[in-house]
C-alpha cells in the first residue's frame, strides 16, 4: 500500500481537516485521521461529531487499503517535510513517510477505532450555490451569534433556503445580523448551523460552486475536493422579522472605516465594566461621539449626511457591538434610528444584502 503526491497539496488539505480534530478527547477515535487509498485516489477524513470533513485527492496509488493515524502528529510531519513530493508506504503497523532525505516511521492506530463518516451519494446533492454567496451569507453574520452555552440555538446561524432567496441570520438577543440574497440554492428549508461549523465552511469553500444536500439533520456541502457534513442544531430560532424596525425617524449616511476608527478612539475612555458605553448625538449633519469612564472622557465629531423627520437624537451603545456590526462592511453605510430606545439598523450602500441591528443601551 503506497502513494506518492505533492507535499503542498497534502499539507493544504490537512490544514483544513486538522482544525476540526480535537487535540485531546475522551474518545481517542476522534483524534484520528482516516486515510483511504483506492485506484487513482487518496481520501482523508476527519470528524468531531458535529462536523465531518472528507478530502479526495487524485494520486498515484500502488495498492489499496485503509489506515488510521494520529491527525496532529501526521500533519506536523507533513508540514515540515523537506522535499516537494511525499511518499507514504504502509508496512505492517507503521506508515513510512519519505520526502527528500527525511524518513519517518509513524505508528498506525487501530483503524477499527476511527470514526467513519458517511457522506451522501452524488445524486443527493440537488442544490448548489456559488462559494462567494455562501461565504457572504454565512461569513458576514456569524459574529452576531451567541457564545454562552445556555443560549442554545442562538449559538448557531440560521440558514433559510427557498425558491426566491438564500438568507443567513444570527443573533444573541442584543444584536442581529442578516444577509439576504435573491439567489436560490434549489433547496427549500430552514436550518440552524453551529457557528463553529460555519467557520470551517467559509474557510474551505473560497471559490467555485458548492453543491448542497439536506437530509434529516445533516446539511452536506461539497466541491471537487472537499465534502462536509454539518449536523444542524435542533430548536426554535427567534422570530427575528418581528423585531427589525421598518420605519425610521432619523437616518445618517457615513463612511464605515471612518466610523470604526472614531468609535475605537473614543471608546478608549469608555468604562469597560459598564457596557463599554459610547454616546452618539446626531444634529445638524454632525455626529458627535463621546465616552466617559474612570480615566477621563473623550469626544470626536464627524460630518454625516442626515435625513428624517427628527432633527436630533441621542443614543448610547456598547462600543464593541457597534464595531462588530461594522466589520463586514466598507464604503458608505446607513445608520437608521427609529427612536433612542428602539434597535438601530445598519445597512451598506454597496452590499444591499447585509443588515445589522444593534440594540441601544438605555440612556
Interface ranges with a second copy (CB under 8 A): 70, 73, 76-77, 80-82, 94, 101-107, 261-262, 264-266, 268-269, 294-302
Q: How far is the CB of 26 from a second copy (least distance, A)?
A: 19
Q: How far is the CB of 265 from a second copy (least distance, A)?
A: 4
Question: Of 206, 242, 198, 250, which Cα lies nearest the Cα of 224?
Answer: 206
Q: What SS3 class is residue 248? A: coil
- Name residue 133's beta-bridge partners: none
DSSP secondary structure, 154-199, as one string: GGEEEEEEETTEEEEEEE-SSEEEEEEES---S--EEEEEEHHHHH
* Long-range contacts of residues 133-137, Cβ cutoff 8 Å, at least 24 apart: 133/166, 133/181, 133/183, 134/201, 134/202, 134/205, 134/210, 134/221, 135/202, 135/205, 135/206, 136/179, 136/181, 136/351, 136/353, 137/166, 137/167, 137/168, 137/179, 137/181, 137/353
Nearer to a second copy, 78 or 233 (CB): 78
Nearer to a second copy, 35 or 210 (CB): 35
Half-sphere exposure of 304 toward its Cβ, with a 13 Å CA cutoff? 30
Distance CA 180, CA 150 (A): 28
Nearer to a second copy, 91 or 126 (CB): 91
Distance CA 174, CA 360 (A): 9
Nearer to a second copy, 35 or 129 (CB): 35
Nearer to a second copy, 141 or 262 (CB): 262
Q: How far is the CB of 269 from a second copy (least distance, A)?
A: 6
C-alpha cell at 179: 444577509
Q: What SS3 class is residue 130? A: strand
Nearer to a second copy, 4 or 299 (CB): 299
Nearer to a second copy, 310 or 324 (CB): 324
Q: What share of the chain is helix, strand, coil (3-state, %, to 5)?
A: 25, 45, 30
Residues 6+ apart with CB under 8 A from 265: 298, 300
Q: How far is the CB of 22 from a second copy (least distance, A)?
A: 17
Query: Hunting for cell 461529531 — which residue is that?
Result: 49
Q: How far is the CB of 218 from a second copy (least distance, A)?
A: 33
Q: How far is the CB of 270 from a second copy (least distance, A)?
A: 11
Q: How far is the CB of 46 from a second copy (least distance, A)?
A: 17
Distance CA 259, CA 287 (A): 10
Distance CA 206, CA 279 (A): 38
The dihedral over CA atoms of 20, 24, 30, 34, expressed in degrees to the nearest 10, equals 80
Q: How far is the CB of 256 from a second copy (least distance, A)?
A: 16
Q: How far is the CB of 33 from a second copy (least distance, A)?
A: 13
C-alpha cell at 60: 498515484
Nearer to a second copy, 12 or 94 (CB): 94
Nearer to a second copy, 162 or 268 (CB): 268
Q: How far is the CB of 282 from a second copy (least distance, A)?
A: 16
Nearer to a second copy, 100 or 189 (CB): 100
Amino acid at each position: 500500500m503506497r502513494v506518492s503526491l505533492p507535499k503542498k497539496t497534502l499539507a493544504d488539505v490537512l490544514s483544513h481537516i486538522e482544525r476540526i480534530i480535537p487535540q485531546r478527547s475522551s474518545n481517542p477515535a476522534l483524534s484520528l485521521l482516516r486515510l483511504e487509498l483506492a485506484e487513482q485516489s487518496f481520501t482523508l477524513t476527519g470528524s468531531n461529531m458535529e462536523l465531518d470533513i472528507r478530502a479526495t485527492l487524485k494520486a498515484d496509488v500502488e495498492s489499496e487499503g485503509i489506515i488510521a493515524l494520529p491527525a496532529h502528529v501526521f500533519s506536523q510531519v507533513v508540514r515540515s517535510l523537506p522535499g516537494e513530493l511525499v511518499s507514504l508506504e504502509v508496512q505492517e503497523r507503521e506508515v513510512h513517510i519519505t520526502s527528500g532525505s527525511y524518513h519517518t516511521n509513524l505508528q498506525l492506530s487501530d483503524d477499527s477505532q476511527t470514526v467513519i463518516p458517511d457522506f451522501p451519494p452524488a445524486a443527493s446533492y440537488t442544490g448548489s450555490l456559488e462559494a462567494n454567496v455562501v461565504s457572504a451569507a454565512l461569513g458576514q453574520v456569524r459574529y452576531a451569534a451567541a457564545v454562552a452555552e445556555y443560549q442554545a440555538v442562538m449559538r448557531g446561524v440560521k440558514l433559510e433556503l427557498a425558491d426566491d432567496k438564500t438568507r443567513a441570520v444570527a443573533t444573541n438577543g442584543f444584536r442581529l445580523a442578516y444577509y439576504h440574497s435573491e439567489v436560490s440554492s434549489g433547496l427549500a428549508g430552514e436550518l440552524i448551523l453551529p457557528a463553529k461549523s460555519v467557520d470551517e465552511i467559509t474557510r474551505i469553500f473560497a471559490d467555485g460552486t458548492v453543491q448542497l444536500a439536506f437530509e434529516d439533520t445533516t446539511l452536506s456541502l461539497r466541491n471537487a475536493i472537499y465534502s462536509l457534513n454539518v449536523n444542524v442544531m435542533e430548536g426554535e430560532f427567534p422570530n427575528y422579522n418581528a423585531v427589525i424596525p421598518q420605519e425610521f425617524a432619523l437616518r445618517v449616511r457615513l463612511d464605515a472605516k471612518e466610523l470604526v476608527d472614531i468609535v475605537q478612539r473614543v471608546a478608549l475612555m469608555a468604562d469597560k465594566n459598564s457596557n463599554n458605553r459610547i454616546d452618539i448625538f446626531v444634529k445638524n449633519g454632525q455626529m458627535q461621539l463621546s465616552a466617559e469612564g474612570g480615566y477621563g472622557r473623550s469626544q470626536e465629531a464627524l460630518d454625516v449626511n442626515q435625513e428624517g423627520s427628527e432633527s436630533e437624537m441621542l443614543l448610547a451603545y456598547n462600543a464593541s457591538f457597534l464595531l462588530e456590526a461594522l466589520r463586514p462592511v466598507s464604503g458608505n453605510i446607513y445608520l437608521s434610528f427609529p427612536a433612542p430606545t428602539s434597535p438601530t439598523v445598519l445597512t451598506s450602500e454597496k452590499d444591499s444584502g447585509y443588515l445589522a441591528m444593534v440594540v441601544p443601551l438605555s440612556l
